[in-house]
Every structure is written in structure tokens, then in C-alpha cells.
């Protein structure tokens, strides 16, 4: 095996000087220089990396969009919370109750201030005006408290930046009908010249209530 003929062109290297170059390689190609095949491989490799960079850019853009959307959603949620504060789960829901049954002395004072403002601001006809003895009429006080609650909502909406019909709706639906009810449907109707003590209607007839309860018991027991 030691007598193999020596190839005078074989130098033991693949790209040694004097070796016949492949047709796609420059004549001057040598070790340490890029051959076209190597360049092609590098270009292919770069193309792969470029696609990866593009993918990263697309991901970054998507993340940026999501971040911006999240910020907008949080801002919107904050505005909604301002309009309607979230119910605290630990906060007990208050029992339904008439304003006159839970109002404090301060509440009565506030309602009187608002009622006097109403009388000064809306120069309604004399027979529609709220009479000064209204605090002695619990039903009238209840109507005025409810009218003020609706006014607050409408007045807040009316100060918004967008045009709306909240205030005119309050005038048409609540202000004038309420004033008419107050003067026409309550005992205050007779208080034009002076206040007359209110009288309370008789309570439920106990005999008739007992009969209704017996009938209900028989109905629900079968």
C-alpha cells in the first residue's frame, strides 16, 4: 500500500495553489476567502435571520397595538366607573326606603335649599308653585326629593360636551307633571292661604285582612 503512484497534482489540500479550479470559483480563490458557494450559504442564512427579524417586528407591532388597546380599555373603564361606581361586594345593598324615612336634618335642609332655588328659577304659574308648607306633607317631600334626584342626573348630563335632551326631557317628563301632582293630588291643595294639618287615612281593616290571610293559606297549602 506504500507504492501508490504519486499524483504530481495532488498536494493533499482541496484548494491548494495550482489545483484546477471548479468553473464557478474564481481563479484567485484561496483559503480564507469566500467562495460563491459559501456566499450563497451566508445569504441564505441571512435571509432566514431577516425573516426572523420581520417576525419579531410583527410581534412587537402586535404587542404595541395590544398595549395601546389595553390602555384605552383601562381609560374607558375608569370613565365608566366614574359614571357608575362598581358595587363593592362587601357593601350591603340598602333596603328600599322612602326618602322621608331616612333623610337627616341636613338632607331636609338641602332639599329646602333646592326647592327654593326651583321656585326662584322656574317662574311657573302661581297655582303650580310649591307651597311653603311642603315639609309638613310627607308625600310632597317625597315627590320633591325624587324630582331633585332626576334633576341632578339631567343637569349632569346637560353639562356634558355632547348635545343632548336630558334637561328638556326633565322639564317635559318630570318638572311640570310633578308640580301639577304636588298641587293637585295631595292635601296641600287646601293650603293655599295657610297650612292645614294633614290627616292620615285609616289603617287596614284587621277583619278583612284576616279573611284574606285565611284564604291565602288555604290556597297555598293545597
Shortest spacing between CB 73 and Zn ion, in angstroms: 54
In whole angstroms, how close is the CB of 138 to Zn ion at the nearest point? 11
Pick between residue 133 and residue 166 the one whose CB is nearest to Zn ion. Answer: 133
What length is written for the chain? 222
C-beta closer to Zn ion: residue 124 or 133: 133
Taking the least distance from each CB to Zn ion, the nearer of 79 and 194 is 194
* First-to-last C-alpha distance (Å) of the chain: 116
Residues binding Zn ion (CB under 5 A): 133, 188, 191, 195
CB proximity list for 145: less than 8 A, separation 6 or greater? 99, 100, 103, 111
CA 2/CA 70 separation, integer angstroms: 79
Q: How far is the CB of 212 from Zn ion (least distance, A)?
A: 34
What distance in Å separates the CA atoms of residue 166 and residue 186, rounded to the nearest whole number? 28
| SS3 label, residue 77 | helix
Q: What are phi and psi of 74, to 5 degrees?
A: -65, -40
CB of 123 to Zn ion, least distance (A): 22
- The residue among 35 and 189 lying less far from Zn ion, judged by its C-beta, is 189
Amino acid at each position: 500500500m506504500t507504492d501508490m503512484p504519486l499524483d504530481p497534482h495532488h498536494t493533499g489540500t482541496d484548494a491548494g495553489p495550482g489545483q484546477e479550479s471548479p468553473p464557478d470559483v474564481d481563479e484567485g480563490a484561496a483559503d480564507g476567502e469566500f467562495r460563491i458557494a459559501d456566499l450563497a450559504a451566508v445569504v441564505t442564512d441571512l435571509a432566514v435571520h431577516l425573516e426572523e427579524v420581520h417576525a419579531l417586528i410583527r410581534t412587537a407591532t402586535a404587542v404595541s397595538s395590544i398595549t395601546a388597546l389595553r390602555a384605552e380599555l383601562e381609560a374607558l373603564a375608569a370613565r365608566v366607573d366614574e359614571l357608575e361606581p362598581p358595587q363593592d361586594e362587601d357593601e350591603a345593598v340598602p333596603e328600599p326606603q322612602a326618602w322621608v324615612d331616612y333623610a337627616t336634618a341636613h338632607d331636609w335642609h338641602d332639599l329646602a335649599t333646592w326647592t327654593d332655588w326651583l321656585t326662584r328659577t322656574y317662574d311657573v304659574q302661581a297655582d303650580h308653585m310649591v307651597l311653603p308648607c311642603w315639609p309638613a306633607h310627607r308625600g310632597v317631600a317625597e315627590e320633591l326629593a325624587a324630582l331633585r334626584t332626576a334633576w341632578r342626573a339631567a343637569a349632569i348630563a346637560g353639562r356634558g360636551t355632547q348635545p343632548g335632551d336630558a334637561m328638556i326631557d326633565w322639564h317635559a317628563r318630570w318638572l311640570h307633571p310633578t308640580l301639577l301632582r304636588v298641587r293637585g293630588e295631595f292635601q296641600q291643595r287646601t293650603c293655599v292661604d295657610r297650612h292645614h294639618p294633614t290627616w292620615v287615612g285609616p289603617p287596614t281593616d284587621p277583619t278583612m285582612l284576616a279573611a284574606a290571610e285565611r284564604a291565602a293559606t288555604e290556597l297555598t297549602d293545597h
